[in-house]
Structure 1
Amino acid sequence: MSSGTSGVDEARNALGKRLRELRVAAKLSGKQLAESLSWVGSKISKIENGRQTPTDEDIRDWAKATNAEGQAASLLAALHNLELQHAEWQRVLKAGMKSHQTSLSQVDEKTTFYRGFDNTVIPGLLQTPEYARARFAQVVMVHRVSNDINEAVKARMQRQEMLYRPDKRFHFVLTEAALRYRLVSVDIMLGQLDRLMAMTSMRNVKLGIIDFKTQYVTDPRHNFWVLDDHLVRFESYSAEINLRQPQEIELYTGIFEHLAGVASYGAAAREIIGRVMRELAAEDEDSGV
């Protein structure tokens, strides 16, 4: 995850440096600026050193206090670009989970080739309604956002309609671990695996599975998506990271090719999925559920 976070850190540090230059030009110490804004003194240092992201209001107040209101628009543009790159979940989900699914659909409409790798969960575009519901329930629990699970599930299912559009192509690579992690109940997971089995035969969807015995070329560090050749997206616990720099896209494209190159497809992928299903079903019977 270091490549993504380093780009975010660089942008945040650059913004902090610009704000420090305004303070110095106004001949204000950090303490003086903090007092004029009724802020705790440490906030100035954190913002200037890239350890805290300022809000829109912080930027406007800073520009006003340093007699640099003419630069407010440019500073806000830099902040918003940073926010696009590092979209904190608390901000992204403020309007609800359905709203986020809708915003993803807008990006979907412009994308023709999706490449996605996941080492822990089934990607949203491949989820059954039951699996999606369980995932959204976790979001509500972890981020304490409003419960619009029903609407979010419906929006995700609508997004999946693009899987059947002939003008789009999809290449998914999952690890066997993603098929086995106990993130949902056994019956929900069995239904999800059955859906994956069907996905292996779709015309414009290529689904690869990396089983536990496979020798990796590069480590499966975290999930990520490559959308055409203009965006890489991945998720941390706190934020959605969006990378747009050419060198970052080239890096992740290469990593995807390494992972895809060791995955199993077609009948071999179905054998892995089927093996996991049989083991889960047997376990379900043994438990008496």
Structure 2
Amino acid sequence: MSTDHQRAREALGARLRELRLSAPGGRLTGTRLAEHSGWGKSKVSKLENGKQTPTPDDLLRWVQAVGQPDAYDELLGRLRGFESHVRSWRRQLAAGHTPVQQKIAAEYAQSAVVHGFESATIPGILQTADYARSVFSRYAELHRSKRDTEEAVRARLRRQELLYDGRKRFLILVGETALRSLICPPSALAGQLDRLAGLIGLDTVRLGIIPVGASMKIPPTGGFWIHDERLVVIETWHAELWVDDADSIALYLRTWHALQESAVFGADAQALIGRARRALGG
């Protein structure tokens, strides 16, 4: 469990304690609250001290017991803010990569404008089948997860149909390093670079390449994807983070725009892709 996750759970517990102690009918003891809610005696203490994550039903029973039903939406928002957004790869990949692809595809489907950045890997929404196959195989080995590679590849490629939806816009930045990283066989990377070159000029996609050696306003870090200024998805080695608070989304948008200032587009991007392609030969 991440430190941020635990701190958020402890903060929620402190808020629950505050509501119990400020009950309109007088402060309620933990024992009385447990009896009123039909719980064991230790549950109130565990919830208040961040030792147990409440369910939405737990929160509803709590606000009813302390006579403060108006606090339910606030508590539920706090719960959603940390419980659903730290998505451990170990848990997600227990059923393989395909369900993960289907979940993120649903977010793309409801997004009109997507801002994306990847520093060292070709983004999934732009990958060829051969490149995606190598990526899924490497990650399955790393996480020791179910190998459903071919299903996952098909799911990823189905998402790419959205690139041709005239109602959508994809604003994507990719580090030049991604054009040369051999996470796949050279022949697969060659095909991937041809695919990238073919997307430049598509009216729904604005693809920028950040050259190696470009002057940077901020240091590039891991990839992130912003959906309609309502959600940011960030991948780390251990988990996928889904962030939906306004301040954080604004920060990632500022980050994207700062990175964009270092990117090249159009013919200049084509030239970088062509240079990487020629370096592969064949």
| Structure 2 Cα separation of the partners of residues 76 and 277 of structure 1 | 51
Give 1:187's aligned residue: 187
Is 1:268 aligned to residue 268 of structure 2? yes
Give 1:13's aligned residue: 10
| Structure 1 Cα separation of the partners of residues 216 and 6 of structure 2 | 30
Alignment of structure 1 residues 100-139 onto 2, 5 Å = 100-139=100-139
Q: SS at 1:93's partner residue?
A: helix
| Structure 2 Cα separation of the partners of residues 7 and 203 of structure 1 | 40
| Structure 2 Cα separation of the partners of residues 239 and 222 of structure 1 | 13
Tell me by how many angstroms 1:26 deviates: 3.7
Gaps of 5+ in 2: 21-27, 32-40
| Structure 1 Cα separation of the partners of residues 145 and 16 of structure 2 | 32
| Structure 1 Cα separation of the partners of residues 15 and 197 of structure 2 | 53
Q: SS at 2:116's partner residue?
A: strand
| Structure 2 Cα separation of the partners of residues 18 and 142 of structure 1 | 39
Which range moves more in the overlay, 258-267 or 160-169? 258-267
CA contact (8 A) 2:9 2:53 kept: no
Give 2:97's aligned residue: 97
Deviations, residues 81-121 of structure 1 (Å, cap 9, x unaligned):
42322111122223331111111122122100011000021
CA contact (8 A) 1:86 1:242 kept: yes
Measured on the aligned residues, the alpha-carbon RMSD in Å equals 3.4
Is 1:215 aligned to residue 212 of structure 2? no
TM-score by length of structure 1 reads: 0.76
Which range moves more in the overlay, 112-121 or 136-145? 136-145
| Structure 2 Cα separation of the partners of residues 134 and 98 of structure 1 | 15
Is 1:144 aligned to residue 144 of structure 2? yes
Deviations, residues 46-90 of structure 1 (Å, cap 9, x unaligned):
x946xx87596xx97xx9xxx99xx9x998885554232211112
Tell me by how many angstroms 1:6 deviates: 8.1
Is 1:254 aligned to residue 254 of structure 2? yes
Alignment of structure 1 residues 34-183 onto 2, 5 Å = 48=49, 54=53, 79-183=79-183
| Structure 2 Cα separation of the partners of residues 196 and 55 of structure 1 | 46
CA contact (8 A) 2:232 2:242 kept: yes
Deviations, residues 198-257 of structure 1 (Å, cap 9, x unaligned):
111211100000111210011111111111111111101111111111111111101101
CA contact (8 A) 2:5 2:83 kept: no
| Structure 1 Cα separation of the partners of residues 180 and 280 of structure 2 | 9
CA contact (8 A) 2:199 2:205 kept: yes
TM-score by length of structure 2 reads: 0.78
- Residues 243 and 7 of structure 1: CA distance in aligned 2, closer, same or farther (over 3 Å): farther
Number of paired residues? 258
- Residues 15 and 139 of structure 1: CA distance in aligned 2, closer, same or farther (over 3 Å): farther
- Residues 137 and 126 of structure 1: CA distance in aligned 2, closer, same or farther (over 3 Å): same
Deviations, residues 98-145 of structure 1 (Å, cap 9, x unaligned):
111111122122100011000021110000001111111122112222
